[in-house]
Amino acid sequence: MKNLIFVLSAPSGTGKTTILKILKDELKDVDIVVTYTTRKPRPGEKDGIDYNFIEIDEFKKKIEKGELIEWSIVYGNYYGIPKDKIEENLKKEKKTLLIIDTQGGLKIKKIYPNAFLIGILPPSLKEQERRLRERKDMPEEEIKKRLSFSKQERDVIRKHYDIKLINRDLRKTIEKIKKIILS
């Protein structure tokens, strides 16, 4: 059976958001599923495009109703993938890309063994930290928490993901991701 579900995961500060924006423009025949989240939008993020921003009560109702194929709490916020979208795409045999954390990636692989997990790693820890600090929207405590958590994410990617890409060159990384999904 061919791969229809692709998961892209990366620790915070690895370039995931930038990669996602470019892939949305360049992969017109692939459905990039928009995740639900309870976190507040960052400057420039749009509801329904970057994330579906919802209140925690609404998120918990979606959990209770079984409307999420998987969900996790990451950095104190809830994130989840809409079940109906995945099922609809599978019926149509449409390629689907999920941009989720490693916890979610492993859950998806358990539910859909043919899912292909793509892990993006930073070129170095120093570069990852530089990128996080460059955002200027995070307190020091949050940066430290993300860097600490990213060690676990890197370990999961190294041990369980089908392919690991180091994001040294954004354009080359994107081309590799596109080749994996389109081949």
Q: Are 32 and 99 in contact (CB under 8 A)?
A: yes
Per residue in 58-98, pLDDT tens? Answer: 999 999 999 999 999 988 899 999 999 999 999 999 999 99
For residue 92, the Cα-to-chain-centroid distance in whole angstroms is: 22
Q: Are 127 and 11 in contact (CB under 8 A)?
A: no
CB crowding 66-75: b at 16 or more within 10 Å, else e: ebbbbbbebe
> What phi, psi does 94 have (nearest 5°)?
-95, 135
Please give the CATH number for the structural domain made up of 5-182: 3.40.50.300
Distances in whole angstroms, Cα of residue 99 to Cα of each of 31, 70, 132, 142 = 11, 12, 19, 21
CA distance 165 to 172: 10
Predicted TM-score (pTM) of the model is 0.90
CA distance 79 to 50: 12
Per residue in 157-183, pLDDT tens? Answer: 999 999 999 999 999 999 999 999 998
